[in-house]
């Protein structure tokens, strides 16, 4: 019975970290789109330098969440305590 609970916890941890991974990937993709797109957002962002800084903050947060989610998924599947604590 205890093994089943730990197995369930392992997969729930993987699922939670996978959602963080997907959120980071979406945020990273959207941030890259805002910075690279020559039309659309570029005109809005160029008008206000604070928004341009926000795009780079979005890139940094997306990259951090992407990495954190990936390491969490690997740590949950392999049951590696070091990766999970990172």
**30-68 per-position pLDDT tens digit:** 888 888 876 777 677 667 777 778 888 999 999 999 999
Q: Is residue 74 part of a domain?
A: yes
Residue 7 resides in a domain: yes
Number of domains into which the chain is organized: 1
Structural domain includes residue 40: yes
Q: What does the longest C-alpha to C-alpha distance in the chain come to?
A: 61
Quote the pTM value: 0.80
Range of the domain at 35: 1-79
Q: CB–CB of 28/66 below 8 Å?
A: yes
Determine whether 69 is exposed, middle or buried from the number of CB atoms within 10 Å of its CB (0-12, 13-18, 19+).
buried
In a domain, 85, yes or no: no
């Amino acid at each position: 019975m205890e093994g089943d609970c730990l197995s369930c916890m392992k997969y729930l941890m993987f699922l939670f970290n996978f959602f963080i991974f997907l959120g980071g990937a979406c945020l990273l993709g959207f941030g890259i789109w805002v910075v690279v797109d020559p039309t659309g957002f570029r005109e809005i962002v160029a008008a206000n330098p604070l928004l341009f800084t926000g795009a780079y903050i979005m890139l940094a947060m997306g990259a951090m969440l992407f990495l954190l989610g990936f390491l969490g998924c690997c740590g949950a599947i392999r049951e590696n305590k070091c990766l999970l604590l990172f």
